[in-house]
Amino acid sequence: MGRMLAGGMAALLLMAGGLFWWSSRASQAPLPQLATAPPPPVIEPLPKGDPNTRGKPPPMPAEASPQTREQKRFARYDRDRDGVITRLEMMGSRTKAFKALDKDGDNLLSFEEWAVATSDRFASADANKDGKLTPAEFAITAPKRTPKPKCTC
């Protein structure tokens, strides 16, 4: 009984010490500030010229910088262009592949449906039918890339 009481007291002392240490650390260290987006640049209107005078034309605005690869990828998923990708937007590009696997059309992919598709893919890649894929045979399992359509802008 004495050991149990001593153990309980030791546990309470450790918890109290930890609480005091934690509260002193919380009051000393400032919380990290969340990064905020920089304010949008101020766009000044173009100067207006006097129609009766001739001279240099007003300066043209700067060319828009081309988007980086990551910005283009982000824009593909951000369907409503609100600057945020929701789960629905992210998974929307996978709908066609999911529907191809969902053979019974119940919007649920069972293990059997997935296994049949995987087994069929393996069997079509295994050219010599030995039950093993060589690196050359495995390369066949890669998804087929379709060429990007040319812009008709």
Helix and strand totals (H; E) in the chain: 6, 0
Q: What pLDDT, on the 0 to 100 scale, is given for residue 139? A: 78
Is residue 77 domain-resident? yes
Residue 58 has pLDDT above 80, yes or no: no
Residue 39 has a pLDDT of 76
Residue 120 in any domain: the answer is yes
How many domains does the structure of the chain reveal? 2
- The reply to whether 91 and 110 lie within a common domain is no
| pLDDT band at 99; cut points 50, 70, 90 | confident
108 and 138 in a common domain: yes
Residue 107 located in a structural domain: yes
The whole-number average pLDDT for the span 123-152 is 80
What is the domain extent for residue 112?
A: 102-142
Please report whether residue 86 resides in a domain.
Answer: yes
Residue 115: alpha-carbon gap to chain centroid: 28
Please give the structure tokens belonging to residue 13. Answer: 């002392």
pLDDT for the residue 62 = 65
